[in-house]
Amino acid sequence: MEDTLYLRKGELAPSNLALVSRTIRLAEALDLPIASVEEAEAALQLPGTS
């Protein structure tokens, strides 16, 4: 998502927050679970921040 500039055709995303918020709304509409920070780190094999 970080390389995405548009929320939709012709509409620039004002921030990364807008992109994340839209992604969450889409996932919820499709009844898909939202990963926690810990789940996302594990899925992406990222080191924890704590």
Which tens digits make up the pLDDT trace of 10-49? 999 999 899 989 999 999 999 999 999 889 888 999 776 6
pLDDT at 11: 93
Q: How far apart are CA 50 and CA 40, in angstroms?
A: 14
pLDDT at 48: 66
Identify whether 50 is part of a domain. Answer: no
Identify whether 1 is part of a domain. Answer: no
User: 28 is in which domain, residue-wise?
Assistant: 6-43
Q: Count up the domains in the chain and report the number.
A: 1
35 within 8 A of 43, measured Cβ to Cβ: yes
Identify whether 34 is part of a domain. Answer: yes
